[in-house]
Amino acid sequence: MKYKQTPVSSGTQAAEHLRFIREVMERTASFTAVPGWSMFVVGLTALPVAFLAARQPTTDGFLAVWCVELALALGIGVVGLRRKAHRSGFSLRSGPGRKYILNMTPALVAGIVLTAALWQQGDPGLLASVWLLLYGAATITGGISSVGLIPVLGVLFMALGVLAVLLPLDHWVLAAGFGGLHIGFGLVIARRYGG
């Protein structure tokens, strides 16, 4: 039995070719909508939080202060990311934006799980190194589909995480990472990549 092929109009073929080209370009494009100004603001909020957390008499107080900062930083980051992606014409649901978010998620989820486990076990001594190492890993993997500075930022976070394991400088390395690195890289990203 022979099937009759219906002719495809050249307009339909052209539209299919353009859709294919657009999909290939989306898969290979880098995600440049990382919000430098939001990163800068997150760094500014992290500095007083590190100071306040260092003065908490209990681990619960230390963790509570940083959890508030996490919620604040997530809010600032998500709003900034959505705004810059919209201005840049990127979608966070497809292509490089989706890849950026999906690549970061596993390490961030691991950080949340390990934080809860260390806190419940009564062993908060490794919290700073766990946070810095896993945030660095998330930044590196997310940065694979982003601008070249993002993986460098992740490597520096991981270096601070190693330093936190070796030296009892938890508060200083948290301030240096979540405060200093975010401020410095946020400014550079904002200037080089438009906000």
Q: Splitting the chain (195 residues) into consecutive groups of 10 residues, what average pLDDT does each group show?
A: 58 66 50 81 96 92 93 92 80 73 90 91 84 95 83 95 89 94 94 83
Take residue 166 and report the two structure tokens written for it. 């070796």
Q: What is the pLDDT of residue 33?
A: 67
Q: How many CA atoms lie within 13 A of 131 on its CB side?
A: 23
Q: What is the pLDDT of residue 131?
A: 95
Q: What is the pLDDT of residue 122?
A: 75
Distance CA 133, CA 47 (A): 19
Q: What is the pLDDT of residue 75?
A: 94
CB 157 within 8 A of CB 42: no
DSSP string, 47-60: HHHHHHHHT-SSHH
Distance CA 185, CA 9 (A): 51
Q: What is the pLDDT of residue 22?
A: 56
Q: What is the pLDDT of residue 114?
A: 93
Q: What is the pLDDT of residue 102?
A: 86
